[in-house]
């Protein structure tokens, strides 16, 4: 009887240990422990979300995400940055790989079927980046031709706009990242890179690209950037919205915008009104 009791006690202890280890391994919704927070950003968008060669993270979206995280109780050292490609953002949120995503993430009805948004915190407009000596694109009508090779990124609203709205006849080439499009533009494999003007300005302002490219100056769409989060998490959305309002009121939003967009001579819009509240 005594031996059986010991066996039962040992089994119970082992079971408790396994359950404890499993819980630790699973972590929380953010994909990190309570003392860490996983945040999705872009790694290849200078001026917005860029992972530098020395492993640092910089850009307007990075500053916004860092400010929001601080308001949620996390220091900068507690942030684990996760690369969030355009086509994977909804999956990363739904799977709990990140707590939220700040990655030039345009708010639209299709995406809101899978995730919720806080914000918007920035308003961009779709445009084109062309080679500096190229004057063939002057109006929106110039794009809608089978001879026009436009490059964009898989899963982006820019690519969807090309197909559905202003250039259905164009030869749309989708790559996994904007850097690949930029290489194609420089090598004349494509005629133009189309995405948000904020992203294009960042690329054009890079030291190695200065003088090579220019924005076409076409205001093709409105792109309100939101912070993506798990659908139904109204508490987190309110916390993020409160943080964004505080960032604007304190002047930190304007400071970050000038820091990252000023060198590109990009005339950005003022901080937009927060509308994603329910």
DSSP string, 39-76: EEE-SEETTTEEE-TTS-EESHHHHHHHHHHHHTT--G
Q: Are residues 114 and 128 in the same domain?
A: no
- Predicted local distance difference test score (pLDDT) of residue 25: 41
DSSP string, 101-155: E-SS-B--TTGGGTEEEEEEEEEEEEEEEEETT--S--SGGGG-STT-EEEEETT
Q: Are residues 138 and 205 in the same domain?
A: yes
Domain assignment present for 173: yes
- Predicted local distance difference test score (pLDDT) of residue 30: 53
Q: What is the pLDDT along the chain (278 residues), one digit of tens a residue?
A: 444 444 444 544 444 444 444 443 444 455 455 789 999 999 989 999 999 999 999 999 999 999 999 999 999 999 999 999 988 999 999 999 999 999 999 999 999 999 999 999 999 999 999 998 888 877 888 888 888 898 988 888 788 888 788 888 888 898 888 888 989 999 999 999 988 999 898 888 888 887 888 888 888 889 999 999 999 999 999 999 999 999 999 999 999 999 998 877 788 999 999 999 98
Q: Are residues 55 and 130 in the same domain?
A: no
Domain assignment present for 5: no
Q: Are residues 109 and 235 in the same domain?
A: yes
- Predicted local distance difference test score (pLDDT) of residue 19: 41
Domain assignment present for 32: no
**The two structure tokens encoding residue 82:** 């996760």
- Predicted local distance difference test score (pLDDT) of residue 32: 56
Domain assignment present for 17: no
Q: Are residues 144 and 108 in the same domain?
A: no
Domain assignment present for 277: no
Q: Are residues 103 and 128 in the same domain?
A: no
3-state helix, strand and coil shares in percent for the chain, rounded to the nearest 5:
40, 25, 35
Based on the structure, what is the number of domains in the chain? Answer: 2
Beta bridge partners of 172: 150
pTM, to two decimals: 0.79
Domain containing 135: what range? 124-215
Domain assignment present for 69: yes
- Predicted local distance difference test score (pLDDT) of residue 157: 79
């Amino acid at each position: 009887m005594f031996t059986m009791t010991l066996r039962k006690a040992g089994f119970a202890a082992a079971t408790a240990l396994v359950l404890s280890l499993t819980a630790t391994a699973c972590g929380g919704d953010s994909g990190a422990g309570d003392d860490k927070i996983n945040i999705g950003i872009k790694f290849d968008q200078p001026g917005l979300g860029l992972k530098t060669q020395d492993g640092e993270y910089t850009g307007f979206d990075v500053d916004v995400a860092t400010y929001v995280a601080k308001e949620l109780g996390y220091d900068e050292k507690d942030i684990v940055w996760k690369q969030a490609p355009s086509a994977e953002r909804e999956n990363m949120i739904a799977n709990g790989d990140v707590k939220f995503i700040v990655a030039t993430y345009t708010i639209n009805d299709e995406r809101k079927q899978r995730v919720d948004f806080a914000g918007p915190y920035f308003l961009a407009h779709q445009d084109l980046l062309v080679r500096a000596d190229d004057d063939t694109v002057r109006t929106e009508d110039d794009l809608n031709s089978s001879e026009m090779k436009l490059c964009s990124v898989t899963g982006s609203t820019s690519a969807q706009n090309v197909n559905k709205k202003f250039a259905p006849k164009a030869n749309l080439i989708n790559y996994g990242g904007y850097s690949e499009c930029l290489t194609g533009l420089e090598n004349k494999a494509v005629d133009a890179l189309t995405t948000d003007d904020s992203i294009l300005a960042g690329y054009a302002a890079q030291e190695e690209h200065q003088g090579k490219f220019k924005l076409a100056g076409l205001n093709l769409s409105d792109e309100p950037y939101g912070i993506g989060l798990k659908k139904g998490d109204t508490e987190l959305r309110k916390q993020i919205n409160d943080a964004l309002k505080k960032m604007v009121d304190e002047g930190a939003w304007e400071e970050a915008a000038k820091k990252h967009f000023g060198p590109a001579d990009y005339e950005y819009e003022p901080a937009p009104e927060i509308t994603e509240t329910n």
